[in-house]
Each structure stands twice: as C-alpha cells, then as structure tokens.
Structure 1
Amino acid sequence: MRTEKLAVASAALALAAGASAIVKPLPVPERGFISSKPGETWEQGLLSGNGTVGLNVFGQPLDETAILTHERMFIPLGKPHMPPDNGNRLFEIRNLIDRGLYRQATELALELSGQEGFLYHDHFVPTFDLKIKMDAKGEAKDYMRSVDFQTGVATVQWSDDNGTYERRSFVSRADGLAVMQIEGSAKGSVGCRLKMKVRDPHPELIGGGNSPQKPRSDNMYKFYVEKTTFAAEADALTVRQTFNHSYPGSIHAMEGIVQVVNDGGTVTKDGDELVVKGADRVLLLIDVEMLYDPAHTAMGTF
C-alpha cells in the first residue's frame, strides 16, 4: 500500500509543482502569496491542506518546522456532560425574555441545566511537528517562499555555497497524505536531519509561549496526555500518542508517520531521528491517523 501511494503522491507533486527541476528565481504564482522573509511563528506559516489534514510550513531555509494538523485532533478531556431535557420549561424562559427579564431568563436556564460552572469542550491541537535541519555550506541567501492558491503547493527556495535548494509541499486530497520534496541543483547536494516533535506542552491548550497561562497549559498537557512515543525505522519516523481521558466516541490515540524516499543518497538512523546524506532529491510522505480503538494501530499502514 505504501508503494502504491508513493507513486500516486510523487506524480501528483510533480504535476502540482509544474516541473521537477528547480526554477530560479522562484516564479510568482498567478494567484497566491510570495515573500522574501521566512515565517517566525505558526501564524506566519505557509498553509496547505485537503480538508482533513493540514500542513503549516514556517519556511525557515536551514531549520524548518512543518506543523501537521488533523480535523479530528480534539484532545479528550473526559466524557461530555449530557444536558437535561428541559424542553417543557422552554416557554418560561421565552416568556421572561419577551418581558425583558434577561437576567432571570439566564438564571433559570442555568438552573435547569444542572451546570455548576463553565465547561470546556475538547481542545483542538496540532498532531506533531516535523523538524528538518538542512546541511549547509555558508549562509543562506537569495531566499523566497510562496504558496500557489490554485494548486495548494507551498515552496521555499534559497541558495548557499553548494547551490540552490527547494522544498515543495502540498496535501493530497486523493490519498490523504502530506507530501514534501527537497531538491538541490547540484547532484548529491541534499543532506538533512529529520525529527518528529510533539509540541510539549501544546501551547494551544490554555495560552502558550511565555504567557501567564503557560504553567496551567503545562499541567493540563501532563494531565490529559498519557504517553508519547517516537521511533525511527530504516526509512520512516513514527509517533504514537495516547490520552488519559478518552471516552466512547472520542479518539483514543494519534499516530503519525513520515516515510523517507531518497534519490541517490543514504538514510541512516540516529536514535529517533533520520539522517539523509548525499541525495539528489528527497521525498517525504506524511500520514496522520486518529484511532478510536485503543487496541488498534495504523502505524506503517499508509
């Protein structure tokens, strides 16, 4: 199944990008966005997606961060409270509102709900980050990045003393995969270190960064996330995350995989990272799965 999706996704990337060779300087999309500065935060990233899987690429030439999201990655906070059936009292609430007694209407509605305080819904958070640290000779220069709104392809281009490099990314709707291609203008010039990272703690839970809410976010992450496991195979990185407060109908685990296909180089393991050396081109296929059965695993089954 991996081989079949690889062929489809690779062809789709070449088609969407318009050409397999680097075109310098980076063309301006007919409809899209182009910038000479990389993003510093996720708000400034290059976006692509297929409605289910989302990809946010910062565009840093030598130390890239690609954030993966999934439409169903709502971290379980525990079984939701079912509201009581109070439809037979609805006429009283409406009558109070008609008379302009809004506070009394609100208090009655709250009393009938049986709710003691504010209830949080399950939080939407990223799945994982893919970190790409490029080998480089000299400083990065001639930098540009772009998104083509017609194809969804995000491109980052720069040069150093070894030549010109380009990363092109998009998310395939047909195959449900995020795809990234890293290419160098000189033969055997692509080298990089690949690592998966979960935003620990997720700043999106309650505030983030160095905000006053960060300690609370840290504690919430530890409370709701049971375990996060990373691993490296000969040609793939994997991550599995399980949750402490899953309930029937919620996700029980998140799994992600980055399969690495290199052209002309080598791929070796270094702990839970992969190291690419001497490649002409590297293709990354990224899959994200939400699991509703805690005994099931989708790892390695693209």
Structure 2
Amino acid sequence: MRMPEPRIHVTSPAACRTDGFRTANGECGAVLYGEPAMEKVVFEAGRSCHPAYEFRISSPGMTAVGGYGRITDSRTGEVTSTWADGHGTWARRAFASRADQVIAHELLPAPGRTVDTTLSVDTALDGLLGSTRFTTRATVSNGSGYLSLRGVGRSGRGVFGYEGITRVVAFGGSVLASGATLVVIGAVRLLLLTKLDRYESSSTGGIFPALRTALAGLESDYATLFARHTAATPA
C-alpha cells in the first residue's frame, strides 16, 4: 500500500482562512494564510480548536516577485512559506509545540535585508460569539515586545474567557509599542512565541501572569524549540 505524502505543497498564498495551512498540538493551534505583505494567523484555543483571534503581520513594502511556496509537514505540523524578490529568498516557518505548548513563528529576511513589520490583532472573525468583549495591550519589557488579548463572552454554559499573549523577539533590531500594536524595525531575524488558554471567569480573574512568565522562560531559539517538539511527537 502506498503511504500518503507527508508534505502538502502549494504555489500561491491562501486568500482566506478556510484555505490556510494549520498547525496544532491537541491543546492549541494556528491557521496561517494571506500574502507576504499581510500574513494572518488565526489562533485556536482548546481541544475544540475554537478560533480565538487573528494575529496580523503587516509588511506593506513586501512584494513576492516569484517562487512562492507554502509547505505543511504532516509529521511535525510545521508550516513553511518562502518567496523571492530582487534581494533573494524570504522565509517564514511556524509550528505548535507539543513539548512547550507554545506556537513558534520565525520570520527570516533575504540576505542583507531586515524584517520591518507592524504586529496587531483583529477580533472580527467568523465563528466568534457576538457578545464576546475584547481588550488588547502592547508593551515592551527587557527587549521583548508583548502583544496580549483578553476575550470574555457568554455561551449556553455561562460566562467564559480566554487569553493569549505573543512574545516578540527582534534579533538585531528593535520593538516599539504604538497603541495596541507593536512595531518591529531592522530585525535580522524575528521570533514570535504565543501562548493562549481558556478559563472560566467565575473561577479566576485571568491567566496573563502565568502565560507571560512561561513565555519569558522559554529559549528564544526556534531550532531548539523545534527539536524539543519533534522529540515529543509520536513517530
């Protein structure tokens, strides 16, 4: 019997969320789609893979001249996208770690170029309850940026909430907070580490401190986190 191909490959960006590539670890996940100039990541919370919010990576000056490709490795869940312009090949890769319960996303520029982008969140997603109320916050601490979101809503079971926070590490560059967004300037490599979780509002006042502490304690190295993830992934 022929085994299924472990890699899914497309040669054009996904225009909508339903065509995006998904990575998940059983507890949280993300769907990646959009053009290089505006990549969108829909974070999913809980085992039900319920859409929580959309994270946006805006790089208006980015244009893909050719050679676009996006690959999902079904064995590890890693999603990789590459494209070329007049300066060379740009790359982005992401996975949902089984070992650390974090979604890691790395952005790599073409040789001699830098990653310059604005990071924000959007909550106008299909599938979210209309009564959900959101608050967002962008801060910078010890050289890392933190973009956080809290959503509180009501379902048939009562009041619920979920929170997510992304740690932004700009190697060789800087991260600035501007309102509810983070602006990255001159990074030779950009690492985004995201944790999110659901909770019952009646039993807790929030989980931001625990999520932020966990993120701050993680290695800011994609390869190290990925190696730990693959070691914890069933063969």
Mark yes or no: TM-score above 0.5. Answer: yes
Mark the CA change 1:137 to 1:129 in structure 2 (over 3 Å): closer, same or farther.
closer
Matches within 5 A, 1:27-66: 31-66=6-41
State the match for 1:296 in structure 2: 205
Please state which structure has a larger fraction of its residues in strand. 2
Letter in 2 for 1:239: L
The CA distance in 2 between the partners of 1:252 and 1:276, in whole Å, is: 33
Alpha carbons 2:46, 2:198 under 8 Å: kept: no
Q: Secondary structure at the match of 1:39?
A: coil
Corresponding letter in the other structure for 1:254: Y
SS at match of 1:127: strand
Instruction: List runs of 5+ in structure 2 lacking aligned partners.
Output: 215-235
Residue in structure 1 matching 2:139, options 213, 233, 237: 233
> 1:103-150, CA deviations, whole angstroms, 9 ceiling, x for partnerless residues?
xxxxxxxxxxxxxxxxxxxxx741011101125365542211111112
Question: In the alignment, is the contact (CA less than 8 A) between 2:89 and 2:110 conserved in 1?
Answer: yes
Amino acid at match of 1:291: Y
- Between the two structures, name the one with larger relative contact order (CA 8 Å, sep ≥ 6): 1
> Equivalences for 1:176-215 in 2 at 5 Å?
176-198=101-123, 200=124, 202-204=125-127
Deviations 1:7-30 (A, max 9, x none): xxxxxxxxxxxxxxxxxxxxxxx6
TM-score by length of 2: 0.78
% same residue: 27
Q: Contact 1:135/1:190 (CA < 8 Å) preserved in 2?
A: no
- Summarize the Cα distance change of 1:149–1:251 in structure 2 as closer, same or farther, 3 Å threshold: farther
Residue type matched to 1:183 in 2? Answer: L
Query: Structure 2 counterpart of 1:268, which letter?
Result: L
Distance, in Å, in 2 between the alignment partners of 1:137 and 1:245 is 40
- Quick one: distance in 2 between partners of 1:39 and 1:138? 15
Q: How far apart are residue 186 of structure 1 and its match? A: 2.2
Contact 1:188 1:264 survives alignment (8 Å): no
Secondary structure of 1:58 counterpart: strand
Residues in 1 aligned to 2:63 and 2:200: alpha-carbon distance in whole angstroms? 48
Contact 2:21 2:72 in 1 (8 A): yes
Which protein has the bigger helix share? 1
Match of 1:285 in 2: 193
**TM-score, normalised to structure 1's length?**
0.62
Q: What is the SS of the residue equivalent to 2:51?
A: coil
> What does the per-residue CA deviation read over 1:174-213, in whole Å, with 9 as the maximum and x for residues that have no partner?
1111110000132451111111111x2x4226xxxxxxxx
8 Å CA contact retained: 1:251, 1:290: no
Of 151, 155, 180, which residue of structure 2 is paired with 1:272? 180
Aligned to 1:233, the other structure's residue is in SS state: strand
The residue aligned with 1:256 is 164
Residue 80 of structure 2 aligns to a residue whose secondary structure is strand
CA displacement at 1:271 relative to structure 2: 1.1
1:130 maps to what in 2?
A: 55
Q: Write the distance in 2 (CA, Å) between the matches of 1:56 and 1:67.
A: 5
Structure 1 runs of 4+ aligned residues shifted over 4 Å read 244-247
**Cα separation, partners in 2 of 1:140 and 1:186, compared to 1, 3 Å:** same
Partner amino acid, structure 1, of 2:116:
G
Aligned match of 1:82: none
The one of 88, 91, 98 equivalent to 1:166 is 91
The 5-angstrom pairing of residues 102-181 of structure 1 reads 125-136=50-61, 139-181=64-106
What secondary structure sits across from 1:252 in the alignment? strand
| Structure of larger gyration radius | 1
- How many equivalent pairs are there? 202
Secondary structure at the aligned position of 1:301 is classed as: helix
Between 140-149 and 271-280, the greater mean CA deviation after superposition: 140-149
Match of 2:229 in 1: none
CA contact 1:155–1:169 (8 Å) conserved in 2: yes
Change (3 A) 1:275 1:174: same
